[in-house]
Amino acid sequence: MDTTPDLKLMGVTEVNGQPLACGGCGNTFSLEVHRHLVLETAPAWISCLSCGRGEDSPTVTNGLVDAALAARTGRARAEDRDLFTAQWRGIVMTGELVPELVMDDMVTLAELLKRETTKTAKAWGRAQKREAKALVKVRTDALSGAVRDRARSAVGGAKAAALGAAWQLQTGGAGPAKSVRPKQRRCRVKGCKRGMLTIKTRVHSTTGKTQTVKVPCAVCGRTGGGK
């Protein structure tokens, strides 16, 4: 018997609506079908890749295998599936064959590899960049922190120096500055402003009408202690 299977089945193959299964372990996946003997009506050989058992199929004949091979869609493009629906002497078999490598698979695979490689390279690049950035940031932070501290102390120093100079200037270096302005003394005489009283009188009036006359205040004098 030829060791190369005629049908490498993929997934569940159905024969007359029933899943094709291994007679030994009941496995419905990973089955291979071999043409066996010569007659079309002779049962095909089903080998199970799961348990390793091989047996004459009670349903699949050589004729059905030939029909399936004739009916298979084959594949041209990477996204294609190799499907078949075969009918031979009243028995219908539907299923899918393990995809055989086609040129488009190679192209797709190459593209995929390239994409993955690029992606990986980019991801690596990104990681590197991120790492570098983080490192720079750490260094920058440390640096700016130091600069900031230095600037802060410089400002503090300048401020202190300026204040000191002003202090010297204002006080001559003596004691804290106080307001030297004396408190205003107000004259208690009603109507006295800056030592002058404004009097309304008709006495000195030449017109006979009421006039205002300013006279020195007798209490505070002309010195006018008040405002």
The residues that touch Zn ion, with contacts defined as CB under 5 A, are 22, 24-25, 27, 48, 50-51, 53, 187, 189, 192, 217, 219-220
**Shortest Å, Cβ 184 to Zn ion:** 13
- Whole-angstrom distance, CA of residue 8 vs CA of residue 20: 13
Residue 172 is which amino acid?
G
| Pick 67 or 192: Cβ nearer Zn ion | 192
| Pick 65 or 217: Cβ nearer Zn ion | 217
**Shortest Å, Cβ 226 to Zn ion:** 7
| Pick 27 or 211: Cβ nearer Zn ion | 27
Per the DSSP assignment, residues forming a β-bridge with 91 are: 88
**Shortest Å, Cβ 14 to Zn ion:** 18
**Shortest Å, Cβ 25 to Zn ion:** 3
Torsion of CA 190, 191, 195, 201, to 10 degrees: -120
| Pick 10 or 83: Cβ nearer Zn ion | 10
- Return the sign of the alpha-carbon dihedral for residues 107, 12, 62, 70: negative
Helix (H) or strand (E) holding 133: helix 103-171
- Whole-angstrom distance, CA of residue 36 vs CA of residue 20: 17
